[in-house]
Amino acid sequence: MIPDFQKIMLPALQFLGDENEKNVADIRAHIASAFQVTEEEQRQKTPSGKQNLFYNRVAWSVAYA
């Protein structure tokens, strides 16, 4: 199950907390591992079908963290 962006915030902040530069793929991989998000879930689309739901939620969590 893909967590909502609010649940992703704390693990994302902890991952980013060492102040070393990270790219978005690293953040996504960390969050996917932390929440055991499967490859299939990562390919799931938003209701509009334009974006991956998981990528969208990770992006929102980082933007609002």
Q: Give 3-47 pLDDT, tens digit per residue.
A: 999 999 999 999 999 989 999 999 999 999 999 999 999 999 999
Q: CA–CA separation, 58 vs 53, rounded Å?
A: 9
Q: Helix, strand, or coil here: 34?
A: helix
Q: What is the pLDDT of residue 19?
A: 83
**Cα 33 vs. chain centroid, distance in angstroms?**
10
Q: What is the pLDDT of residue 65?
A: 75
Nearest Cα to 5, choosing from 43, 31, 42?
31
pTM of the entire predicted model:
0.89
Q: What is the pLDDT of residue 64?
A: 86
Q: What is the pLDDT of residue 60?
A: 95
Q: What is the pLDDT of residue 61?
A: 93
Enumerate the domain spans of the chain: 5-64
